[in-house]
């Protein structure tokens, strides 16, 4: 049994998806693990912040894994359309991209939006080789390098 992997590169950021390689080192079958929203609800180690300039709000929920850190981001008050990325910044200054996504034109988590979909927060799931105790903070960045919000690990 082997491990399947896919690498998608877009601009300066990369996202990796894998199947197999369970926490105990054995290969496991690929299976659905629910949505990022469901995963977020099950994780209790969290850091939150709202940037005073952008008003973007982020909560990052963490889970230590044998391979590093799983992180689920809940993001509010983000305008679209625009590409974004979640970056883990290590205590040593190392930066790792956990995931990237496109915010739809309607935006996400906009409190006074006219549609229910635009009022819903955005949830994304990602992973880093850094362990939770190696991570200082997380940043949500635009692809052109603007930091929208920084949340402690």
State the burial class of residue 127 (Cβ atoms within 10 Å of its Cβ: 0-12, 13-18, 19+). Answer: buried
**Does residue 87 have a pLDDT over 50?**
yes
Cα–Cα distance between 29 and 79 in angstroms, integer? 37
- Dist. CA 99–CA 118, nearest whole Å: 21
The stretch 5-28 carries a mean pLDDT of 40
43 compared with 145, residue with greater pLDDT: 145
Model pLDDT for residues 96-108, shown as the tens digit of each residue: 999 999 999 999 9
Q: Per-residue confidence at 125, pLDDT binned at 50, 70, 90? A: very high
pLDDT tier at 33, thresholds 50, 70, 90 = low
**Reported confidence tier of residue 8, pLDDT bands at 50, 70, 90:** very low
Q: What is the CATH number of domain 35-152?
A: 2.60.40
Q: Is the predicted pLDDT of residue 2 greater than 90, yes or no?
A: no
| Across 81-90, average pLDDT | 97
Q: Compute the distance between CA of residue 23 and CA of residue 44 in angstroms, rounded to an integer.
A: 19
Residue with tokens 């915010």: 103
% of the chain surpassing 70 pLDDT: 78
User: According to the model, what pLDDT value does residue 34 have?
Assistant: 77
Q: What is the domain partition of the chain in residue ranges? A: 35-152
Whole-angstrom distance, CA of residue 6 vs CA of residue 4: 7
* Distance in angstroms (rounded) separating the CA atoms of residues 59 and 51: 12
Is it the case that residue 4 has pLDDT exceeding 90? no
Q: How far apart are the first and last CA of the chain?
A: 35
Tokens of 123: 């949830």
């Amino acid at each position: 049994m082997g491990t399947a992997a896919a690498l998608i590169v877009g601009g300066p950021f990369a996202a990796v998806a894998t199947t197999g390689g369970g926490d105990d080192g054995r290969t496991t079958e690929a299976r659905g693990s629910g949505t990022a929203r469901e995963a977020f609800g099950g994780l209790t180690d969290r850091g939150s912040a709202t940037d005073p300039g952008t008003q973007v709000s982020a909560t990052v929920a963490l889970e230590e894994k044998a391979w590093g850190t799983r992180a689920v981001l809940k993001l509010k008050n983000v305008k679209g359309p625009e590409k974004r990325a979640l970056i883990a910044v290590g205590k040593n200054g190392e930066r790792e991209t956990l995931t990237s996504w496109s915010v739809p034109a309607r935006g996400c988590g906009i409190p006074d939006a006219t549609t229910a979909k635009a009022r819903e927060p955005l949830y994304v799931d990602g992973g880093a080789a850094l362990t939770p105790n190696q991570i200082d903070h997380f940043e949500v960045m635009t692809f052109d390098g603007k930091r929208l919000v920084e949340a402690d690990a």
